[in-house]
Amino acid sequence: MKYRRKYTLFTLKNRKGKPVWYFRIYLPDGTRRSKTTGCNSREKAMRYVEELLEDETMLRKVFESDLVVAIDSSHSLIQTTIRETPKSSITFEEFASPWWHWDTCPYVLARRAAGTESHPGIKQSYVTSSEMWTRRYLIPYFGKYKLQDISVDMINTFWQVLKDKHGLAPKTINNIRSVFIIMMKEAVSKGLIERNPVEMTISRTVDKKKQELLTDEECARLFDIERIKDLWNDRIVYYVYSFVAGLTGLRAGELLALTINEVYPNKIVVKRSYNESYGMTTTKTSEERVVPITDEIYRYLYVAWQSHPNDENDFIFSFDGKKPMNEGRARAAFYKAMEKIGISEAERKRRGITFHSWRHKFTTDCVKSNMHPEKIMALTGHKSAEMLLRYTDLNAEKDLSDQIQEIQESKSRRIIGMNG
C-alpha cells in the first residue's frame, strides 16, 4: 500500500480547551484519512508524521484500525465511520483497540459533544476505567476471536473466569459488562454483527452487606480533642477530614476538592471532586450544591486550613495548600485511629465500616430526624434528587438549613459531652 507523501496538520480542542494536533493524508484512491498525533505542539506533531510516513508498516497499522474519524474541510468533527473491512476478518482486538481514548474514540467524542461544561456527556474517570477494563480483561480473553464468533455461552464463561480466576466482585463484573455492551452495541449499529450477545447475558447479583455504623460513643472516643496527637498522629487535617465527613455527608473527593473560598460561616458550596488518578472533576452528579454548616464546623475547617502554608485559594485538606492530601493516607489514618480506640481491623471489616460510612451515618441521622427524603437527597447530592426537586418545594432553604444545623449541633454536643 502506497500513500502520497503529503499531509496537512490542524488542531482540535479537547475538553479542557487545549489544542491537540491532527494530521490528514490522501490515499491513492483520492480518499482522505485523518488521525490524531496525540501531540500538543506543532513541532512534535510534524516529527511524528514524518517518522510515520517513513515506516509503511506502522502507517498501515495506524490507518487499518476499524474506527476512523472523518474530518470536513473546515476541520470540524462531523462523523464517525467504520472502515470497509470484511465482517469475517474483524477480530475483537482490532475492533476494541481504538476504544476508550479520550481524544480519539468516536463514541467518547460523540458523548463529549453531546454534553455541556456543567453537564458533561461522559466523565474522563469513566473513560479511563473503561479503557483499563477493556485492556486488562476483555481484549486478553476475546481479542483473537472474530466479532461474529463471540457467543452468549463464551461470555457467560468469561463472567465466571472474572470471578474465579481474577477474584472480581459482582459489582465490578457488572461494570465490565456495561462497557462490553456499549462496544458491542456499536458493532451492531455498524453492521459488523447482527445482534449483541452481551445483552443476552444476565448481570451478576450484588450481595448488599448490611453495614454497621460507628456508635455515638465510638465517635466521641475518635474525636476526643485531647487525643489528636495519640489517635491521629497529631495531624489535625486527618481529624477534621473525618469529623466534617460525619457531620455533612460530603464524599471523600468532595472534601479533598474544598478550598477555603468555598467555605462560609454557615455553609459549604460543593462544586468539584478530586481523585489522584483523574485530578479535579465535577461532582458525581455534575451539580453544585450547598450544605449548611454550624459555626463549630466552620471553625474546624478554618483550623485545618491554617495548619499548613496557605492563601485564599488553597485547599483545606492539604499539607502544602497547593494540592489535596493523599486520600489513601487519610483513610489509613482513620482506620488506625479506630484500632487505637479498640476497633480491630477484623472487626472493622466484619462491620463493613469504611470512610464512606461517614456519609451513611450522616444520611441515617437525617432520616432519624424525620427530614423529608427529597431534602436529604438534595443535601447529599444523590442523582435522583434532580428529578424529585421538580415536585418539591425546597425553597424552604432556611428550613432545610435550620434542620441540618440542628442535627449537626446535636451530634457535636453528644460527642463533646461524652468527652467532657
Q: Cα(first)–Cα(last) distance of the chain, in Å?
A: 82
Q: How far apart are CA 17 and CA 230, in angstroms?
A: 47
Q: Where are the domains of the chain?
A: 1-64, 113-200, 216-419
Q: Please answer whether residues 250 and 263 qualify as being in contact, where contact means their C-beta atoms are separated by less than 8 angstroms.
A: no
Is the model's pLDDT at 30 over the cut of 60? Answer: no
pLDDT of residue 250: 94
At residue 50, the pLDDT reads 80
Q: What is the pLDDT of residue 80?
A: 37
Q: Residues 187, 95: contact at Cβ < 8 Å?
A: yes
CA distance 4 to 30: 10
* pTM score of the predicted model: 0.61
Q: What is the pLDDT of residues 312-336, one digit of tens each?
A: 668 999 988 888 999 999 999 999 9
Query: Which of 109, 85, 110, 103 is CA-nearest to residue 95?
Result: 85
Q: Which fold has domain 113-200?
A: DNA polymerase; domain 1 (1.10.150)
Taking residue 56's Cβ as centre, other Cβ atoms within 10 Å add up to 12
119 has pLDDT over 60 = yes
Which range (58-72, 185-199, 274-288, 289-303) has the least confidence?
A: 58-72
Query: Band of the pLDDT at 267, cuts 50, 70, 90?
Result: very high
In the predicted model, what is the mean pLDDT of residues 261-277?
Answer: 90
Cα–Cα distance for residue pair 384/328, rounded to 1 Å: 29
Q: What would the CATH number be for the domain defined by 216-419?
A: 1.10.443.10
| pLDDT tens sequence across 393-413 | 333 344 556 666 666 776 666
Mean pLDDT of 327-352: 94
Q: Is the pLDDT of residue 4 over 50?
A: no
Percent of the chain with pLDDT over 90: 40
Answer whether residue 287 shows pLDDT above 60: yes
pLDDT band at 6 (very low <50, low <70, confident <90, very high): low
What Rg value do the Cα atoms of the chain yield, rounded?
26
pLDDT, tens only, 207-232: 766 778 899 999 999 999 899 999 99
pLDDT(417) > 80: no
Over residues 46-56, the pLDDT tens digits come to: 887 887 777 66
